[in-house]
Amino acid sequence: RGIGPIRFGMYPEETMKVLGDPNTTDLRHPKKGVGAVIHHYEQHGLDLTFDEEDEHRLAYIDVTGGSFILMNALSLGMSWEDCLAATKDLGLGLPHEERCVSWDLLCYHGHSLMCWFHDKTLSKISFGHYWSRDGQPLWPEG
């Protein structure tokens, strides 16, 4: 659904009423139909991505700081093993795993969830709205 009062499907103006103006704003792939605007809220530890192809509605949230607990189980600072155990308890299934020199990743594609690790510690949680079987965004109600 989102995080706190921020819900997937909101427009930038709506999230700004809740969080205020972002510290910075970035444009990603500024090409018609595939671009995104990202609002960075450093004081909240949040990055909000509004996709052009989703009518500039909130499509993804990155948690990079703060004391958020997602799904009553995931929080920054967790170990790889604790994150795996928590997602297993949540019934998310087996993740796709990537291990690189500077970061590691647990990716749960069917749940629009990615857990990023630096130095074996969960440092960023990225999650997005769900999709229908025919590829349409499913926005939460209410």
Q: Give residue-wise pLDDT tens across range 39-52.
A: 999 999 999 999 88
Per-residue pLDDT reduced to its tens digit, 64-118: 998 888 888 999 999 999 999 999 999 999 999 999 888 999 999 888 899 999 9
Residues of the chain with CATH 3.30.1450: 1-68
pTM of the model: 0.88
User: For domain 1-68, which architecture applies?
Assistant: 2-Layer Sandwich (3.30)
**Phi first, then psi: what are they for 17, rounded to 5°?**
-65, -30
b/e 28-49 (16+ beta carbons within 10 angstroms → b): eeeeeeeebbbbbbeebbbbbb
Strand partners, 28: 36
